[in-house]
Amino acid sequence: MFSSKKSDPFFESLLTIAKNVQQGVNYAYECKIENVSDLKQISVNMKSYETAGDKLIHELIVMLNQSFMTPIEREDILDLAIKLDDVLDGIENTLAHFEMYSFIEVNEAMRQFLHFIMMSVDEAVKAMELLNRKDLLGMRKHAILIKNYERECDEIFRSSITQLFQTEKDPIRLIIFKDIYEQFEEIADYCQNVANTIETIIMRNA
């Protein structure tokens, strides 16, 4: 099944979904928040990536429903697609909270979170490129790197929460910062879910 050189439309769809996530995360990493008025446009732009992701997931579901044969289990294809899209949904939701709070204080911990999330998504795209080449075993190294980046985010979360409770005296600011940190940590967990799903697919098919 995996010896065919012909490109598979399901694997192409997964790569397209991963690249859309990558574009959205890169936008979040590169965007500048200098004042409250920036937040609305950033939220609008992030929503466009999230909407595009939903459309790609819908198209994949239609294709799965119309196909008798799939290159791997259809449940694994859909699960991987949804896990990838969860990362983008998480980023969009976090930036929506920035707007909701009128929050513009992006600090080094938040930049580090986004840096490792961005690198995780880059690895996911590389894994999907290998999947398109039907190199399942080659995907494992990218799954391992994603898990390593998630552990980095765990350390950032612990240290940032510790520092927050040691230094922040305003209860409202403490609640906001804690919420934002927790959301970034959850996105890192979504990235790890992608890695776990990749490893499951390798185990079942390689």
| Tens of pLDDT, residues 138-162 | 999 999 999 999 999 999 999 999 9
Give the pLDDT mean for 167-192.
97
- What is the phi-psi region of residue 134: left when phi exceeds 0, alpha when psi lies from -120 to 50, beta otherwise? left
| Tens of pLDDT, residues 101-136 | 999 999 999 999 999 999 999 999 999 999 999 999
Residues 6+ apart with CB under 8 A from 143: 123, 127, 194, 195, 196, 198, 199, 202
- Cβ distance 183 to 103 under 8 Å? no
| Tens of pLDDT, residues 30-70 | 998 989 999 999 999 999 999 999 999 999 999 999 988 99
Domain limits, the chain: 9-205
Please give the model's pTM, rounded to 2 decimal places: 0.94
Residue 175 in tokens: 């609640």
Q: Say which CATH superfamily domain 9-205 falls into.
A: Phosphate transport system protein phou homolog 2; domain 2 (1.20.58.220)
Q: Give the containing element (helix H, strand E) for 131.
A: helix 108-132
Q: Give the containing element (helix H, strand E) for 192.
A: helix 171-205
pLDDT range class, residue 4, cuts 50, 70, 90: low
pLDDT at 178 (0 to 100): 97
pLDDT at 68 (0 to 100): 86
